[in-house]
Amino acid sequence: MRGRTLKEHIREKMRDPQFKKAWHDLDAEFELLESMIKAREEAGLTQEQLAKKIGTKQPALSRLERGGFKKATVETLNKIAKALDTRLVIKFQHK
């Protein structure tokens, strides 16, 4: 007997309007997370190297990359952007 795949599970859960809303409420956070990791990788830096450049430790950066943006300040995100030779852009946009 084969279990469900993650995609099948998510597809089923998306039928629940509350789950679907909660899932999509995280879109901006995941987009930011993905862009930060991609920029770090494109810069050829490890988490440890980037952490050192911004004056923190690797475990703290790892927590941030796993979705700890709720605790990150704009100042921290700007430090990361600068260390990665990128620009942080935060804006309000009509849906």
Contact assessment for residue 47 and residue 61, using Cβ atoms and an 8 Å cutoff: yes
Cβ contacts of 46-52, under 8 Å, gap ≥ 24: 50/80, 50/83, 50/84
Mean pLDDT of 1-7: 78
Mean of pLDDT over the chain? 90
* Structural domain boundaries in the chain: 6-83
Predicted TM-score (pTM) of this structure: 0.76
Q: Which amino acid is at 67?
A: G
Phi, psi of 13 (to 5 degrees): -65, -30
* pLDDT of 89 higher than 60: yes
82 to 36, 76, 89: CA distances (angstroms): 12, 10, 12
Residue 87: the pLDDT is 95
Pick the CATH number of 6-83 from 3.30.1330, 1.10.3470, 1.10.260, 1.10.3910: 1.10.260
